[in-house]
Amino acid sequence: MTAPAPAGSYEEEPTPAPRPSAAGEPGPRPRAVLAMHRDLPARLIDTHTMARLAALTDIDPAVVLDDFTTAAARQELAGAEVIVSGWGCPPIDADTLAAAPRLRAVVHAAGSVKHHITAACWERGIEVASVAWANALPVAEYTVAAVLGANKRLLRIREDYRARRAPHDWQSAYARAGNYRRTVGIVGASLIGRRVMDLLRPYDLDLLLYDPYVEPAEAVRLGARSVTLDELCAGGDVVSVHAPELPETRHLLDGRRLALMRDDSTLINTSRGSLVDQDALTAELVSGRLNAVIDVTVPEVLPAASPLYDLPNVVLTPHIAGSLGGELHRMAAAAVDEVALWTAGRPFAHPVAKEAISRTA
């Protein structure tokens, strides 16, 4: 399982010694540059974390690159030794690397690095770190809240109570509600999927796992039982999607598999909208047979006429399961922790390997 943040990761720490130079002697602070959407640093990096980054590196917080092809960007890249990237970082390709002869490391303060780390980076030997775990945590927390609420039948009971507005025998009406011995199916042992399973350990739930890359023995270590996807769909009171978006995972949950799901069961999707056949899911939800908690759709913002906005058996959110508001600061703090390790000449706590990129979610 992916390790959590290092112990004491967010505590005040002394400024480390400068990263040794090629000759082995302490050198000046390495030059760093921010590469992300121009408006992101103001939301991502709080004052304390920026002060830590400035103590570790030579950085101009006012310089934020979202285009590596301009003359101003080329001037910044010429001296950059480490890039602190985020959402909106352009691809770091061979042309970019030619303009950045001193670049040695990239620390990504967001999710997957697959959109900007290219083959040229690996060929050059660039060290790469990602704090995707810090963005996975709120997604997993969102999912766990959705699982517990779904099994408690919160949506159904809310609508029932709203309609009745009077005393009722809720115990008899919802005799199967609750989280004791319910079955939760996890589709994909990704970084987020594993974190979800870890957070669900304290509850009296049975976990099923579908992931073709995970052996049954490893699934047991994760607290789950390995099954086929059909078995998972048919056996889960809740089915939660955490597989990566790949050509082979498009419509992984198609109409046939959605039809296998138990009546009144709940589908949770915090991965990508393309993994679920949205037309087939919408039909199931309009019929009232299934429930859903949906954070990702195709297109990302549904047309105003979509029934998913108004269905009483659907929680629809606008792709906010990941870091939101103050949760963004966790990612920035974790990224600076990685920079602190690198400037001290120590290995990254969360390095990224080339072969791991395709399976991040």
Residues 290, 284: contact at Cβ < 8 Å?
Answer: yes
pLDDT score of 174 more than 70: yes
pTM above 0.75, yes or no: yes
Show the tokens assigned to 317. 């959110």
Please report which confidence band the pLDDT of residue 10 belongs to, taking 50, 70 and 90 as the band edges: very low
Asked whether the domain spanning 135-316 has the same topology as the one spanning 32-130+325-359, the reply is: yes
Indicate the domain borders of the chain: 32-130+325-359, 135-316
The arithmetic mean of pLDDT across residues 226-244, rounded, is: 98
Tens of pLDDT, residue by residue over 183-209, are 999 999 999 999 999 999 999 999 999
Say what the pLDDT of residue 186 is. 98
Q: What is the 3-state secondary structure (H, E, C) of the chain?
A: CCCCCCCCCCCCCCCCCCCECCCCCECCCCEEEEECCCCHHHHHCCHHHHHHHHHHCECCCCCEECCCCCHHHHHHHHHCCEEEECCCCCCECHHHHHHCCCCCEEEECCCCCCCCECHHHHHHCCEEEECHHHHHHHHHHHHHHHHHHHHCCHHHHHHHHHHHCCCCCHHHHCCCCCCCCEEEEEECCCHHHHHHHHHHCCCCEEEEEECCCCCHHHHHHCCCEECCHHHHHHHCCEEEECCCCCHHHCCCECHHHHHHCCCCCEEEECCCHHHECHHHHHHHHHHCCCEEEECCCCCCCCCCCCHHHCCCCEEECCCCCCCCHHHHHHHHHHHHHHHHHHHCCCCCCCECCHHHHHHCC
Say what the pLDDT of residue 16 is. 40
Residues with Cβ within 8 Å of residue 203, at least 6 apart in sequence: 148, 179
pLDDT score of 12 more than 90: no
> Alpha carbon of 162 to those of 84, 129, 149, 155: distances in Å?
49, 49, 17, 11
Please report which confidence band the pLDDT of residue 26 belongs to, taking 50, 70 and 90 as the band edges: low
Going by DSSP bridges, is the β-strand pair 64-65/32-35 parallel, antiparallel, or unpaired?
parallel
pLDDT score of 271 more than 70: yes
The arithmetic mean of pLDDT across residues 219-235, rounded, is: 98
Q: Is 248 a catalytic residue?
A: no
The arithmetic mean of pLDDT across residues 12-36, rounded, is: 63
Residues with Cβ within 8 Å of residue 90, at least 6 apart in sequence: 35, 65, 66, 67, 68, 96, 116
Could you say which architecture CATH assigns to the domain 135-316?
3-Layer(aba) Sandwich (3.40)
Question: Residue 25 and residue 17: Cα distance in Å, rounded?
Answer: 11
Say what the pLDDT of residue 175 is. 94
The arithmetic mean of pLDDT across residues 99-118, rounded, is: 95
As assigned by CATH, the class of the 32-130+325-359 domain is: alpha beta
Mean pLDDT of the chain: 92
Show the tokens assigned to 197. 């399973």
Q: Is 319 a catalytic residue?
A: yes
Give me the catalytic one of 104, 124, 289, 319: 319
Residues 357, 129: contact at Cβ < 8 Å?
Answer: no
Give me the catalytic one of 272, 329, 330, 350: 272
In the chain, the amino acid numbered 135 is: N
Residue keyed to tokens 């030579």:
58
Q: Is 156 a catalytic residue?
A: no
Residues 246, 188: contact at Cβ < 8 Å?
Answer: no
pLDDT score of 267 more than 50: yes
Say what the pLDDT of residue 7 is. 34
Give me the catalytic one of 159, 201, 300, 346: 300
Please report which confidence band the pLDDT of residue 2 belongs to, taking 50, 70 and 90 as the band edges: very low
Order across the sheet with 291-294: list the strands. 225-226, 205-210, 182-187, 238-241, 266-269, 291-294, 314-316
Question: Residue 54 and residue 155: Cα distance in Å, rounded?
Answer: 48
